[in-house]
Copies of this chain bind each other. A is one copy, B any other.
Amino acid sequence: TSGANIVHDLVEAYGGAHYRVPAGKDDYELREAGMGRIADIYVKEEDFEKFEKGIYAFLDGLPEEKMTTLAPSEFLTELGHTINDDSSILKQAALRDVPIFSPGLMDSMLGFHLYTYSTTKKLSLDFVKDLRILGEIITQTKKTGAIMLGGGLTKHFTMGSTILKGGLDMAIQITLDRPEGGSLGGAPLVEGISWQKMQTESNFETVIGDATIIFPLLVIGILS
Binding site for B on A (CB under 8 A): 4, 26-28, 30-31, 35-39, 42, 103-104, 106-108, 111-112, 114-115, 118-119, 123-132, 135, 150, 152-153, 156-157, 160, 163, 175-187, 190-196, 200, 208-214, 217
Smallest beta-carbon distance A94→chain B, Å: 22
Q: Out of B127, B135, B163, B213, which one reaches A106, CB within 8 Å?
A: B127
Residue ID in chain B nearest A192 by CB atoms? B27
What separation, in Å, do the CA atoms of A142 and B21 have in the docked complex? Answer: 33
Residue ID in chain B nearest A30 by CB atoms? B194
Q: Does the CB pair B213–A213 fall under 8 Å? A: yes
Instruction: Name 28 interchain pairs, CB-CB below 8 A, sorted by A.
Output: A4-B184, A27-B191, A28-B200, A30-B194, A38-B187, A39-B187, A103-B107, A106-B127, A107-B156, A111-B127, A111-B131, A112-B163, A114-B128, A115-B128, A118-B129, A119-B132, A123-B128, A124-B129, A125-B127, A125-B128, A127-B127, A152-B185, A153-B153, A175-B181, A176-B178, A178-B178, A213-B214, A213-B217
Q: Does the CB pair B180–A209 fall under 8 Å? A: yes
Q: Report B-chain residues with C-beta under 8 Å of the C-beta of A108.
A: 156
Q: Report B-chain residues with C-beta under 8 Å of the C-beta of A130.
A: 106
